[in-house]
Amino acid sequence: MTEDKRDVTRQNIRAVRPTSAPPQFLFWLVIGLFAIAIIAAIVGYLAYRGEGRLVALVPVGLAVVILVPVLTIALAIIFRRSLPRAFALWLLLAFIILAVIGAFVGIGYYRDQLPPRYQTELITPLPFLRAFLPPTPVGGSVPTVVAPTGGPSALELLLGNATATPDATEAPSATPTERPPSATPTQQPATPTPAAEETLDPPTAEATAVSVVPTTAPLTATPIPAAASAALNLPVSAYNGGFRYDRQGWNNCGPANAAMALSYYGWQGTQDDAASYLKPDREDKNVSPGEIVRFINEQSFVRGLTRVGGDMNMIKAFVAAGFPVIAEVGGLLYEGDNWVGHYRTVVGYDDSQQAMLIYDTWLGIGDGNGITVPYDEFDSTWQPFNRIFIVVYPPDRENDVVRILGDLADINLAAEHALEVAREEARTAPQNPFVWFNIGASLARLERYDEAQHAFDEATRLRLPFRMLWYQFYSFETYFNVGRYDDVLGLVNSNLSNGGSYVEETYYWQGRVYAARGQTSDARTAFQRAIGHNPSFAAAQDALNALGGA
């Protein structure tokens, strides 16, 4: 056989010789990863189905993140003879690099892209993530507004001696202010807050403010004097059963409490049904009492009413009469050191314990009859919201509601009563920012903006918690109506930097300032953003229509 023939034979033999099999490492790696993926998918589905929250997937995710590197490195060590030298070491180094890159990308996504409801959920199992949340305002407070000179001082407001603000030419401001084009210093354009509560009073011909929520029918019963509820013969205790408890979802205390109060009358809807009407944007930080009342009046067979200036005897009288009452409260309730607003449904009271019984959509219902909250604690958390409440009642029991409300059945008298209560509290606790905010809010409800601005100046000087402006917008309304546009935008920017970008009223007042300054394009964009967060926000839609926007 010649040499050439031998070469050809060797080539043919090599051609038909089977190639070497892939390392067993790759086979077992694929099998192992496939098994982990299947198990993780099943466990993750069951966990999420059980809790319905993203946080349920955290243990599964952590297990996968740990098991995959451990499995691959272990297999690399076991099959090291069929792998390149130091393969396991290079594999470990690769995982370290991936972990570092993943940490930077994950934290960036968590901080800048993940919706807030998921950010908050993940803090519970992974508390270190709190350090990566967007920063809150300095001191955790609403920025201090520089008060202009002239007009009633805080002391004059405290004593109830305030008069209209002098003409701007007689008392120049410490900081320049702007007046709306059609306004004079003695006659400001009345622009009510978009979330004004329902009123049972018929509109009058002299009214200058346009309600942005539907009004209910006029009261047919005759009101009795204010504070008459204190003279009612109340039992020592009372309790109303029959509520269907439903633990709230993310930022869903408003819809959850609305659904819970309606369930007392047999309403079959859920908090999700209420939320689809009240907050189509799931990230919406706030549902105002007026919005809840509008939902009740338009979407159920019973009625709702909200007023400020309530007191403990009035709440007890409603409970004793068999009416559900929802109170808006605020404090260091649920998020560690951060002040937050919340709704609670009052289901009973007990004078022997000096306590209210509440259903709390976040904390639960205690032993089933409600969580016991001492009267003084209940009132201290109620104060920041000017003691606003919602009472839910059948239409045929309106007379009973009016009898308990007394003069508070009149929306203006309710604001005047709340004003006097806040002034009295300011006399005894002048360093409490909430009482000054309540003075300003009550004056704004009465469209006495020149006085209200000084109360809000004092409230911000005393450091209001930054979330206050997620829930109440009377300072925006007041500063706008006295022409302090820069101060309005200062509060807007504070909200936009601390989570209030998910509050549609933030964009509404931004748009009002832009429109007043002739920045039509910017105003249109702001109103469109407000409507994007809440398509049923009628005030923003009306303002957009006025600009000729669609």
Report the CATH number that the domain containing residue 480 is assigned in CATH.
1.25.40.10
Q: Does the pLDDT of residue 512 top 80, yes or no?
A: yes
**258 and 340 in one domain?**
yes
Q: What is the DSSP letter of 481?
A: H
Q: In the chain, how many domains are there?
A: 3
Q: Kindly state the average pLDDT of the residues 123-128.
A: 69
The residue among 132, 147, 175 that closes a domain is 132
Nearest alpha carbon to residue 339 among 379, 381, 401:
381
What pLDDT is stored for residue 52 in this prediction?
55
Q: What gap in Å lies between CA 373 and CA 144, rounded to an integer?
A: 33
What pLDDT is stored for residue 196 in this prediction?
44
Q: What gap in Å lies between CA 240 and CA 413, rounded to an integer?
A: 29
Would residue 546 count as lying in a domain?
no
Q: Which two tokens stand for residue 24?
A: 């067993």
Would residue 10 count as lying in a domain?
no
Q: Does the pLDDT of residue 214 top 50, yes or no?
A: no
What pLDDT is stored for residue 232 in this prediction?
67
Q: Kindly state the average pLDDT of the residues 458-487.
A: 92
**402 and 263 in one domain?**
yes
**177 and 237 in one domain?**
no
What pLDDT is stored for residue 506 in this prediction?
93
Q: Kindly state the average pLDDT of the residues 286-312.
A: 94
Q: Which two tokens stand for residue 493?
A: 């920017």
**259 and 161 in one domain?**
no
What pLDDT is stored for residue 188 in this prediction?
40
What pLDDT is stored for residue 216 in this prediction?
39
**169 and 92 in one domain?**
no
Q: Does the pLDDT of residue 164 top 50, yes or no?
A: no
pLDDT digits (tens, 9 = 90+) for 423-443: 999 999 999 999 999 999 999
pLDDT digits (tens, 9 = 90+) for 351-368: 999 999 999 998 889 888
**391 and 271 in one domain?**
yes
Q: Within 267-410, where are the H helices?
A: 271-278, 289-299, 312-320, 375-382, 398-405
pLDDT-derived band at 93, boundaries 50, 70, 90: confident
Would residue 544 count as lying in a domain?
no
Range picked from 105-109, 146-150, 172-176, 513-517 for highest mean pLDDT: 513-517
What percent of the chain is modeled with pLDDT above 70? 69
Q: Does the pLDDT of residue 224 top 50, yes or no?
A: no
**367 and 245 in one domain?**
yes
Would residue 323 count as lying in a domain?
yes
Task: Say which residue the tokens 């009035």 belong to.
Answer: 314
Task: Say which residue the tokens 């006085």 belong to.
Answer: 451
What pLDDT is stored for residue 351 in this prediction?
95
Would residue 520 count as lying in a domain?
no
Nearest alpha carbon to residue 152 among 383, 423, 414:
423
- Contact status, residue 186 vs residue 167, Cβ threshold 8 Å: yes
**374 and 262 in one domain?**
yes
Q: Kindly state the average pLDDT of the residues 388-410.
A: 95
What pLDDT is stored for residue 279 in this prediction?
86
Half-sphere exposure at residue 488, Cβ-oriented, CA atoms within 13 angstroms: 29
Task: Say which residue the tokens 């500063």 belong to.
Answer: 479
pLDDT-derived band at 404, boundaries 50, 70, 90: very high
Give me the CATH number covering residue 379.
Answer: 3.90.70.10
pLDDT digits (tens, 9 = 90+) for 249-293: 777 899 999 999 999 999 999 888 988 898 887 777 889 999 999
Nearest alpha carbon to residue 327 among 241, 312, 336, 317:
312
- Contact status, residue 345 vs residue 261, Cβ threshold 8 Å: yes
Would residue 488 count as lying in a domain?
yes
Q: Which domain holds residue 445?
A: 139-192+414-502
What pLDDT is stored for residue 41 in this prediction?
74
- Contact status, residue 51 vs residue 247, Cβ threshold 8 Å: no
What pLDDT is stored for residue 173 in this prediction?
35
| Three-state SS at 141 | strand
**265 and 367 in one domain?**
yes
**312 and 452 in one domain?**
no
Q: Kindly state the average pLDDT of the residues 108-120.
A: 65
The residue among 64, 98, 132 that closes a domain is 132
What percent of the chain is modeled with pLDDT above 90? 43
What is the distance, to the nearest Å, from the Cα of residue 344 to the centroid of all Cα atoms in its chain?
14
Q: What gap in Å lies between CA 412 and CA 495, rounded to an integer?
A: 29
What pLDDT is stored for residue 301 in this prediction?
94
Would residue 509 count as lying in a domain?
no
Q: Does the pLDDT of residue 126 top 50, yes or no?
A: yes
Terminal CA-CA length for the chain: 93
Q: Does the pLDDT of residue 549 top 60, yes or no?
A: no
Whole-number Cα distances in Å, 519 to 36, 464, 512, 525: 57, 30, 10, 10
The residue among 409, 430, 450 that closes a domain is 409
What is the distance, to the nearest Å, from the Cα of residue 470 to the centroid of all Cα atoms in its chain?
6
What pLDDT is stored for residue 97 in this prediction?
86
pLDDT digits (tens, 9 = 90+) for 56-73: 667 777 777 787 788 777
pLDDT digits (tens, 9 = 90+) for 335-350: 455 788 999 999 999 9
**Which one is predicted more confidently, 80 or 52?**
80
**244 and 171 in one domain?**
no
Whole-number Cα distances in Å, 433 to 49, 177, 384, 438: 44, 24, 9, 9
Q: Within 300-410, where are the H helices?
A: 312-320, 375-382, 398-405
Would residue 3 count as lying in a domain?
no
**432 and 353 in one domain?**
no
Give rounded-to-5 percent helix, strand, coil for the chain: 55, 10, 35
What pLDDT is stored for residue 15 in this prediction?
52
Q: Do the strands 371-374 and 325-335 form a parallel or antiparallel pair, or are they unpaired?
A: unpaired
Q: CA-based Rg of the chain, rounded to a whole angstrom?
A: 31
